Amino acid sequence: MDLHDFDDVAENYDLYLEEMYRNEDNHAGFLDFYLDFAKEYGKDGVIDIACGTGAVLLYLAQHGIFADGTDLSEAMCRVAGEKARREGFDLNIFPANMTEFRSSRKYSCAIIARSGFMHLITPELQRAALLNIRENLVDGGMLTFNTFDPHPVFQA
């Protein structure tokens, strides 16, 4: 199993999220962090990089922030797009590698939520992504990403 390939799990990824956060009460706080961040820095556009099935993207849209989304996995993009359309949102969601994507516009706010950045497993890939994201931002644009020490039980 390739832990970096989400094509096979796209249809079930939201079930995983539901289970993962079932006994946690901090998921709303997690989403609100990105909402606050987008409100503060997103006046010239927001992009959710490695958007997955759109957990953050759709939360932003539900709160009036219509961000673009991109993800390496076409299947994850498709699921995110279907969910967005079902909720009546017409979002620009496109498959791309964060190390090399070019959007048709620039953004003042970029988000890589959850473990998106951690799928880049070499310093070279991480550097390529950061430099590339910089190219997609306006001057003074802001990026947030997080890293963490994976919990073996959750991973299993």
Q: Quote the least distance from Cβ 66 to ligand SAM, whole Å.
A: 17
Site string (72-101) toward ligand SAM, x via CB under 6 A: xx--x--------------------xxx--
Report which secondary-structure segment, H or E, holds 32.
helix 27-41
Q: Residue 146 region, left (φ>0) first, then alpha (ψ -120 to 50), else beta? A: beta
- Give whichever of 46 and 113 is closer to ligand SAM, judged by the CB atom: 113
- Select from 68, 71, 109, 143 the one that contacts ligand SAM (CB under 6 A): 71
Q: Binding of ligand SAM at residue 103 (CB under 6 A)?
A: no
Site string (113-132) toward ligand SAM, x via CB under 6 A: xxxx--xx------------
Answer for the pair 50, 125: CB distance below 8 angstroms, yes or no. no
Q: Binding of ligand SAM at residue 56 (CB under 6 A)?
A: yes
According to DSSP, the β-strands at 46-49 and 68-71 are parallel
Q: 49: which DSSP letter?
A: E
Q: Quote the least distance from Cβ 84 to ligand SAM, whole Å.
A: 14
CB atoms within 10 A of CB 29: 9
How many residues sit close enough to ligand SAM to count as binding (CB under 6 A)? 20
- Give whichever of 8 and 40 is closer to ligand SAM, judged by the CB atom: 8
- Select from 52, 58, 67, 107 the one that contacts ligand SAM (CB under 6 A): 52
Q: Tell me the C-alpha to C-alpha distance, in Å, between residue 5 and each of 17, 90, 155.
A: 16, 26, 14
Nearest 5°: CA angle at 13, between 111 and 148? 50
What is the token pair recorded at 10?
Answer: 């796209």
Task: Give contact residues for ligand SAM (rule: CB under 6 A).
Answer: 4, 6, 50-52, 55-56, 71-73, 76, 97-99, 113-116, 119-120
